[in-house]
Structure 1
Amino acid sequence: MKNRREFLKIAGGATFLSIIGSGMAQAAQVKNVGVNLYSLREPMGLDPIGTLTQLAKIGYKVIESAPSAKGNYYGLTPKEIKQVMNDLGLILSSGHAIINANWQKSIDEAAEIGQEFLMAPMLPSKGQTVDNYKKVAETFNKMGEACKMSGVTFGFHNGVTEFEKENGQVLYDVLLDNTDAELVKMELDLGWAIVAGANPEHYFEKYAGRFPLWHIKDIKKDKNESIEFGKGKIDFVSLLKQQKKSNMKYMFVEQEHLTQPALATMRDNFNYLAKLKY
């Protein structure tokens, strides 16, 4: 998880949910599946265009980038990656970027691409205290305002530690309570939230409208590591039924821990979701 923390506008407004079936019996099926590129960090580092081409062939429609040693877009310029996405019929709707001295550059690049969301994958300062989370909230509000001025929506992607408590207060709640709901959105990593003992439905109800993005992953039954979908303990059906309540816009497959080549893993995960009905 430490490595992860360091390192979809769907055309026409299409939703992530497709209702199928007939008569009294109806089932929902996942459509327009997205993927976070941290799951493919090695192949993206070696051959970003080739890897994106393979993801498109698998059936992924929406992409979320992640930081790399070559920058936010794996050595490609905003113009170049935008063209690649257009050529492949993909949408780069979101991206993660490390909060540092180059943060304004990350905003400018996202705006140039037409990227809808820019996510911080870690806190800008350390300290598992209420005071630090209030300080972070102030920083996030400023970042949210800067992103808004460029036509980008700012947000934060959680791990496990944000759900720790100090003096009975859940630190993630402190962050939500002290950030502007219009300027700071949340990308809820469902897997790590559940590992931390949090109930996603509780957050969707208490903080309505704050969670337009999801990360979806499976977690091993005997260890807090991600695994191929369907092999772990996550109840995907129950989670997917909460899309409307969350007002979720884009959902991204993510798997940090790999047991086989990344593209094979992402193919297995895509096929699992494509067959899932709820």
Structure 2
Amino acid sequence: MGTTRRAFLGTSLGLAAAVTTALPASAEDRRRIPRGGIGMHLYTMRDVLAKDFAGTVEQLAEIGYATVGVSGRHGHGAADIRRMLDTAGLRAVLEHVAYTMLSGAGLPQALEDLHTLGAKWPVVPSLPGSMHSVAGYREAARQFNRIGAASREAGLGPVLFHNHDGDHDVLGGENLYDILVRETDPHLVAFELDVYWATKGGAHPATYFVEHPHRFPALHVKDMAPDGSFADVGSGTLDFAAMFEDADTGGVRQWLVEHDTPKDPFATARNSYAYLAALRY
């Protein structure tokens, strides 16, 4: 009887465990974006920043944002921006710096400015149109490795590359973006994946997370309206919950909101933050 009872209990417990595993996770059990990882890429706010930089970043902090990506200084020096961010309680995590500056004589100053800002990553926002070829992207990969080595030597993180849709073009049988991923050193070069532009270019962000782990420390979280234009995060067609299931594998640490043409930047900031703060995946 004892053996039979133990076998019955073991079978029952096994069935219970199987049923529990099969049940969908409740909202409370699913992952959420860390509040310290929800940021605003300041290109979204450029019009209001030009009028009142300090007041704008203060309002972003009041909404709940913890970090920012710097894109354009609007006449302020790095030290002034750092002071305004500190006062607001925000932290800069990266700055977009032109490829021509990072690949040229401006690199040392750009890295020094990142230290001043308190940021970690220099970001190449785009490549010159003249480099839109297989040979051009191979040269960019070579330069990225050099820039990333200098950034690491300066005590910063790897250089990041921010994509647009054209970066996912296939030329001569070669995917341009894949050249950058494949021909750069993961210790020196990583990526700020813009999920809108990747999707528009025919790529699947989640696939990159799985196939190239830990290469995507920052995202531009940008939504796509049904007509293909920009939308506030959570109001468009992109399935962020599904997209972010493998974000940990991809190494994502910063989810930076962006909208290229917001009608009301503060409304976009509020709507997008509310969605990301409530998102479970």
TM-score (norm 2): 0.83
**2:165 counterpart (160, 165, 184):** 160
Q: Which AA in structure 2 matches 1:139?
A: Q
Q: Which AA in structure 2 matches 1:221?
A: P
Residue 244 (structure 2) pairs with residue 244 (structure 1) = no
**1:186-214 superposed Cα distances (whole Å, 9 cap, x missing partner):** 11111111111111122112222211111
Residue 217 (structure 2) pairs with residue 212 (structure 1) = yes
Structure 2 CA distance for aligned equivalents of residues 55 and 274 of structure 1? 14
**1:110-162 superposed Cα distances (whole Å, 9 cap, x missing partner):** 12232111101011562332111101111111111221222222111001001
- What does 1:60-99 correspond to in 2, within 5 Å? 60-67=65-72, 73-99=73-99
Deviation at residue 107 of structure 1 after TM alignment: 1.6
Larger proportion of helix: 2
**1:82-125 superposed Cα distances (whole Å, 9 cap, x missing partner):** 22222222111111111234343222101223211110101156
Structure 2 CA distance for aligned equivalents of residues 216 and 243 of structure 1? 12
Deviation at residue 25 of structure 1 after TM alignment: 5.8
- What does 1:1-278 correspond to in 2, within 5 Å? 26-30=29-33, 31-32=35-36, 33-67=38-72, 73-101=73-101, 102-124=106-128, 126-153=130-157, 154-223=159-228, 225-258=229-262, 260-278=263-281
Structure 2, unaligned runs of 5 or more = 1-24
Cα pair distance change 1:24/1:106, threshold 3 Å = closer
Range moving further from structure 2, 160-169 or 107-116: 107-116
Q: Does the residue aligned with 1:180 lie in a helix, a strand or coil? A: coil
Structure 1 CA distance for aligned equivalents of residues 85 and 151 of structure 2? 22
Structure 2 CA distance for aligned equivalents of residues 179 and 126 of structure 1? 20
Say if 2:91 and 2:118, in contact at 8 Å, map to a contact too. no
Q: Which AA in structure 2 matches 1:60?
A: Y
Structure 2 CA distance for aligned equivalents of residues 245 and 43 of structure 1? 36
2:12 maps to none
Q: Does the residue aligned with 1:256 lie in a helix, a strand or coil? A: coil
Say if 2:233 and 2:257, in contact at 8 Å, map to a contact too. no
Say if 1:95 and 1:118, in contact at 8 Å, map to a contact too. yes
Q: Which AA in structure 1 matches 2:245?
A: K
Say if 1:136 and 1:175, in contact at 8 Å, map to a contact too. yes
RMSD, aligned CA: 1.9
Range moving further from structure 2, 23-32 or 150-159: 23-32
Say if 1:212 and 1:246, in contact at 8 Å, map to a contact too. yes
Structure 2 CA distance for aligned equivalents of residues 117 and 233 of structure 1? 30
Higher Cα Rg: structure 1 or 2?
2
Structure 1, unaligned runs of 5 or more = 1-21, 68-72
Q: Which AA in structure 1 matches 2:276?
A: L
Q: Which AA in structure 2 matches 1:41?
A: R
Larger proportion of strand: 1
Structure 1 CA distance for aligned equivalents of residues 161 and 100 of structure 2? 15
Deviation at residue 64 of structure 1 after TM alignment: 0.5
Q: Does the residue aligned with 1:214 lie in a helix, a strand or coil? A: strand
Structure 2 CA distance for aligned equivalents of residues 34 and 133 of structure 1? 29
Say if 1:125 and 1:132, in contact at 8 Å, map to a contact too. no
Structure 2 CA distance for aligned equivalents of residues 246 and 150 of structure 1? 25
Say if 1:190 and 1:200, in contact at 8 Å, map to a contact too. yes
Structure 2 CA distance for aligned equivalents of residues 117 and 171 of structure 1? 22
Deviation at residue 178 of structure 1 after TM alignment: 1.2
Structure 1 CA distance for aligned equivalents of residues 187 and 140 of structure 2? 16
Say if 1:34 and 1:253, in contact at 8 Å, map to a contact too. yes
Structure 2 CA distance for aligned equivalents of residues 81 and 127 of structure 1? 32
